[in-house]
Structure 1
Amino acid sequence: MFSTRPSIIRGIAALTSRTTSQVHKVHSSQAAMAAVKVGDQLPVSDLYEDSPANKVNVCDLTAGKRVVLFAVPGAFTPGCSKTHLPGYIQNAEKLKSEGVDEIVCVSVNDPYVMAAWGAQHNTKGKIRMLADPSGAFIKALDLGITLPPLGGFRAKRFSMVITDSKITELNVEPDGTGLSCSLADKLKIKK
């Protein structure tokens, strides 16, 4: 048997209390964060198009433009592939005739997956398929959701209209994944 010295016990107690207070700080900072809202500026963030070498800064992309950005929980998933993305493809010309400069689809996937998904749906010239591999952009918006069957952290399903890097319309599905308010035909583009 060995004996435990009081100094070791005090050291462990101090470490434990410090770790506990650090955990509380993390939780309190997360609780203070709120999802973006209409009127907010977009967070500065890089997304990727086609490959990890092709960074697209969201603020640069939307500066001086009107952009529709919609997010999906995952490329190639049924709701995203059968309804959400096809609706934006079908409405691309209509949205552009209403003054939209670009339409962007974002997902927490790698850029190769987004490029392949876009190719499968013939999005070239209609919708830019941008990847958020680490979820940094979605986290900065506070519009993420944990979906274990899809691999963990994903984007909630939402759509937004961005005018000169400022959110002017935001539609977030109430359950984060449904297909109602974030569809292309639900957007109300204000001239």
Structure 2
Amino acid sequence: MFGIIKTVQLSTATAVRAFHATKPLFAAIKEGATLPNHTLFENEPKNKVNITDVFAGKKGILFGVPGAFTPGCSKTHLPGYVNSAKDFGQLGYDTIVCVTVNDPFVSQAWAKQLNAEGKVRVLADPDAKFTKALGLEKDMTAALGNVRSSRYAMVIDNNKVKKLFVEPDGTGLTCSVSQKVLDAIKKGV
């Protein structure tokens, strides 16, 4: 279950033990769970947004993407939610939030380019702390330079996760796209 504990000699007088876990020590957030209380950023670093304040007393959609300006996120994922915002609103889901592991300036430019303003709030998780608290981080160092978010969507009701859609490979565009979430809501999430 866990990796090997090794002793590393730092000097002739001091030894330190290093620990390595081969599996994550936490599981991804589950349906029925409450969103973790975390601060994200909107448009610039001084605009702090507590995610639990965003969904307090509201029904909404929260979705995460690996990165702003990446192909799947820019061509399909965010535009789908922007285009479906009115449909979600008609079903009583008036808050739609996209979380991306980028800095707030990049997130703001991306939201502006894709006309998300007034339809989808794009919030920055620059250090991936919120993403890690959800247990939905994915090491994308080879392609994007650091740990990013797996691609997912959640139906939220007063900070409770009612339905969770996590892409099996963390990056695909199958279950977390707006139409799949809309269909699930129409079927009675």
- Output the TM-score relative to the length of structure 1: 0.87
Structure 2 gaps of 5+ residues are 1-10
Correspondence 1:40-189 to 2 at 5 A: 40-148=33-141, 149-187=143-181, 188-189=184-185
Distance in 2 (CA, whole Å) between partners of 1:156 and 1:171 is 11
- Distance in 2, Cα, partners of 1:126 & 1:70: 13
- 2:31 counterpart residue number: 38
In 2: Cα distance, 1:101 partner to 1:123 partner: 14
Name the SS for the 1:103 alignment partner. Answer: strand
Secondary structure of the structure 1 residue equivalent to 2:24: helix
Could you tell me how far apart the structure 1 residues matched to 2:82 and 2:36 are? Answer: 26
1:174 maps to a residue whose letter is P
Please give the root-mean-square deviation of Cα atoms over the aligned residues, in Å.
1.5
What letter matches 2:101 in structure 1? V
The CA distance in 2 between the partners of 1:66 and 1:186, in whole Å, is 17
In the alignment, structure 1 segments of 5+ residues that lack a partner are 1-7
Residue type of the alignment partner of 1:39: G
User: C-alpha separation between the residues in 2 aligned to 1:124 and 1:32?
Assistant: 37
Q: Which has the higher helix share?
A: 1
- Deviation sequence 1:134-157 (CA, Å, 0-9, x none): 000000000010112111100000
1:101 Cα deviation (Å)?
2.0
How many angstroms apart in 1 are the aligned matches of 2:180 and 2:123? 22
What does residue 3 of structure 2 align with? none
Aligned length: 174
Structure 2 counterpart of 1:46, one-letter code: T
Alpha-carbon distance in structure 2 between the residues aligned to 1:60 and 1:84: 24
User: Per-residue deviation at 1:31?
Assistant: 3.4
Equivalent residue letter for 1:87 = G
Q: Write the distance in 2 (CA, Å) between the matches of 1:115 and 1:138.
A: 19
